[in-house]
């Protein structure tokens, strides 16, 4: 049985990269029946896109999301920095799918401000080439980490995250995450938003932030590279979903796309393969 979910927020899937965990994401999507699905940036990694690497499972993720929309789920695609090419289209809507740069949402009388979050990242705003180089390096690190974890698993050891260890050991990285959360929250409080929801930093979080001007709930949906997390909203309550905590149950769900019944399939495949 699929779980009924009012609202799901997913970000930083990075389809088209070696680190993307598309099979796990498909299992998660197959286990829920969301009324609204918000894709909060960096879903397709256009920065690192290459024709030689876009596996079938990555394409199935896109097909599955399109089919959810076809069946009536409201899908909102918020652009991020890795899929910034889509920002030139501004706000567009076709069927149940909306493309936008940010989303203001009323949830049971409370105002939510949802955006990717790269606007707070100076490295992206001023030295984009360095940010792209960092993205390439991160993908190589994830490849190495996959090999390390394969060896550890063979010897019955727990998996190890190289990138998390690096982030936790570098004071500037810790400060950046803290500054990011504080900046987003302070702006949300000044604008009277109850919730501010971001992605970008691959750091899942739900916490209350208080200032002299008020308070808000800061949330980050994490990523589907390492943390495999999403945000779920039901009956006025936000929760963080973790694939690793539920993977024993999710393995019962096939990592397959539903039968695709829209003429968007051919268009999608042509875009991905670069034949248009």
Report pLDDT for 83.
80
Averaged over 106-135, what is the pLDDT? 69
* Ordered DSSP codes for 81-147: STTGGGGGG-SEEETTEEEES-EEEEETTEEEEE---GGG-HHHHH-HHHHHHHHHHHHHHHHHHHH
Is the pLDDT at 153 greater than 90, yes or no?
A: no
Mean of all residue pLDDT scores within the chain: 80
Alpha carbon 17 to chain centroid, angstroms: 14
Mind listing the pLDDT tens digit for each residue in 222-239? 999 989 999 999 999 999
Report the b/e string of 212-229 with b at 16+ CB within 10 A: eeeebbbbbbbbbbbbbb
What does each C-alpha distance from 66 to 155, 164, 263 come to in angstroms? 40, 32, 11
Measured in degrees and rounded to the nearest 5, phi and psi for residue 68 equal: -60, -45
Contact (CB, 8 A) for 16 and 48: yes
pLDDT (average), residues 130-149: 58
Range in 68-72, 148-152, 176-180 the model is least confident about: 148-152
Mean pLDDT of 112-126: 72
CA atoms within 13 A on the CB side of 67: 17
Q: Which helix (H) or strand (E) holds 210?
A: strand 205-211
Q: Output 148 or 249, whichever has higher pLDDT.
A: 249
Indicate the pairing of strand 74-78 with strand 97-100: parallel
CA-atom Rg of the chain in angstroms = 18
Q: Which two tokens stand for residue 248?
A: 């024993």
Model confidence over 160-177: pLDDT tens digits? 565 565 555 544 555 556
**Tell me, what's the pLDDT at 48?**
67
Q: What element of type H or E holds 225? A: none
The residue whose two tokens read 């260890």 is 165
Q: Report residue 124's pLDDT band, with 50, 70 and 90 as the boundaries.
A: very low
By the 10 Å C-beta count (0-12 exposed, 13-18 middle, 19+ buried), 123 is classed as middle
Residue of 159, 156, 163, 137 whose CA lies nearest to 148 = 159
* Residue 17 φ then ψ, to 5°: -120, 160
Give the least confident one: 3-7, 31-35, 149-153, 235-239: 149-153
Q: What is the pTM of this model?
A: 0.76
Whether pLDDT at 29 is above 60:
yes
Give ∠ CA 234-195-170 in degrees, rounded to 5: 110
Tens digit of each residue's pLDDT (9 = 90 or more) over 97-109 = 999 999 999 999 9
Q: Could you give the C-alpha distances from 65 to 26, 28, 125, 275, in angstroms and in order?
A: 10, 12, 30, 22
Most confident of 43-57, 103-117, 163-177: 103-117
């Amino acid at each position: 049985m699929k779980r009924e979910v009012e609202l799901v927020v997913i970000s930083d899937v990075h389809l088209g990269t070696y680190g993307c965990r598309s099979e796990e994401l498909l299992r998660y999507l197959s286990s829920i029946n969301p009324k609204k699905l918000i894709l909060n940036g960096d879903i397709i990694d256009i920065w690192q896109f290459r024709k030689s690497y876009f596996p079938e499972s990555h394409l199935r993720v896109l097909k599955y999301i399109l089919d959810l929309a076809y069946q009536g789920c409201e899908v909102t695609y918020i652009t991020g920095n890795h899929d910034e090419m889509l920002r030139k289209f501004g706000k567009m809507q076709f069927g149940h799918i909306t493309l936008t740069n940010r989303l203001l949402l009323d949830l049971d009388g409370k105002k939510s401000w949802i955006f990717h979050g790269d606007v707070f990242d100076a490295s992206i705003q001023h030295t984009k080439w360095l940010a792209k180089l960092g993205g390439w390096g991160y993908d190589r690190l994830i490849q190495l980490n996959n090999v390390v974890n394969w060896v550890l698993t063979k010897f019955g050891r727990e998996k190890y995250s190289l990138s998390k260890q690096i982030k936790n050991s570098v004071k500037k990285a810790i400060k950046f995450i803290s500054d990011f959360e504080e900046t987003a929250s302070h702006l949300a409080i000044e604008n009277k938003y109850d919730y501010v929801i971001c992605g970008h930093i691959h750091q899942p979080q739900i916490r209350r932030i208080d200032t002299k001007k008020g308070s808000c709930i800061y949330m980050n949906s994490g990523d589907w590279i390492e943390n495999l997390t999403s945000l779920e909203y039901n009956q006025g309550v936000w929760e963080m979903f973790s694939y690793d905590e539920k993977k024993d149950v999710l393995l019962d769900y096939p990592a397959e796309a539903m039968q695709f019944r829209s003429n968007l399939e051919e268009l999608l495949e042509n875009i991905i393969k670069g034949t248009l």
